[in-house]
Amino acid sequence: MTVPTLLLIGCGKMGGALVRGWVSSPTPPRLFILDRKLKEAPKGAKIFRTPQEITADVAPDIIVLAVKPAGAEAMLAELQKVLGPRLHKAALLSVMAGKDCAQLAAFCGRDDMAVIRTMPNTPSSVGAGTTGLYASAHVSAEQKELAIKLMEQVGTVVEVPEEDDLRSVIAVAGSAPAYIFFFAEMLEKTGRNLGLSPQAARTLVRSMIYGSGKMLHDLPEDASTLRENVTSPNGTTAAALNIFMAEDGLSKLTPLAAEAAIKRSRELDN
């Protein structure tokens, strides 16, 4: 793959997760970062503190927008002034939960701006991310292929046919690592309350989640079959699952949580 030139706008939690994945990949991109607060440049990257510091030799293939949605319009207006035609020659790849393709194109000053929206999650920082990707009609085949390969450097990419599908991606993958982390937190706490040492509870829970995830990733069976395989009739696992699968348990709470995430994503569009 030809090494692409990236200009990353914002290196907070998500931007930082992507950078850690990119710089540790076998073929890292040529990386420029615009971030006022970043203290140290990642390996092979160059930092600009303000848009005005961006030098004339920076001609990005992809501009990765990883700022808060509320700051997107002002930032892209500044980039228009600094980059000029270089902005419109690039594809704009957003990792924000809010602002749709039409809004982002308008912020760039061109309705035909090539805009790609992605919903990566934080495991991208260890090369195990999951990203939903939607490309607008103005994105060329070459630009989309480059974006997909770029995000594949930090994990798995699933292209969706409709932009609104990204809301579902947020609910079941983008935000979902936090659900797993919360469950791990609760299991560790329960283990301590049941008499395990903090280290034992931590090791048992994290190893269990890793092993279960590896089974889901590596084996062909669906999740329900794997659950059934480990659940002996009237055994200990069945007793615990009766609590989780009760009428007011996870079967009810999971879609409610997803709906809350989708609702918030709509609010962030405004």
Of 97 and 139, more confident: 139
> For residue 255, what are its two tokens?
């879609």
- Residue 17 confidence (pLDDT): 87
> What's the rounded mean pLDDT across residues 142-156?
93
Kindly state the average pLDDT of the residues 97-120: 94
* Lowest-confidence segment of 41-45, 165-169, 220-224 by average pLDDT: 41-45
Q: What is the pLDDT of residues 113-133, one digit of tens each?
A: 999 999 999 998 888 999 999
What's the pLDDT score for residue 1?
Answer: 52
* Residue written as token pair 């190893």: 207
What is the rounded average pLDDT of the residues 174-178? Answer: 95
Q: Work out the pLDDT band at 65, boundaries 50, 70, 90.
A: very high
Q: What is the pLDDT of residue 245?
A: 95
Cα 19 to Cα 67, 144, 148: the distances in Å are 14, 20, 16
Sign of the dihedral through C-alpha 58, 42, 105, 147: positive
Check: CB of residue 105 under 8 Å from CB of residue 113.
yes
Whole-number Å distance between alpha carbons of 104 and 114: 10
CATH no. for 5-168: 3.40.50.720
Cβ atoms within 10 Å of 238's Cβ, excluding its own: 13
User: Of the ranges 22-31, 62-71, 82-91, 244-253, which one carries the lowest mean pLDDT score?
Assistant: 22-31
Q: How big is the chain by its Cα radius of gyration, in Å?
A: 21
Q: Would you list the domain boundaries of the chain?
A: 5-168, 176-268
Contact 99, 69 (CB under 8 A): yes
Phi, psi torsion values for 202, nearest 5 degrees: -60, -50
For tokens 């907070």, name the residue. Answer: 12
Task: Quote the mean pLDDT of the chain.
Answer: 94
H, E, C per residue of 129-141 = EEEEEEECCCCCH
CA 98 to chain centroid: 13
Predicted confidence (pLDDT) at residue 196 exceeds the cutoff of 90: yes
Question: Do the Cβ atoms of 208 and 154 come closer than 8 Å?
Answer: no
pLDDT band at 39 (very low <50, low <70, confident <90, very high): confident
Class of domain 176-268: mainly alpha
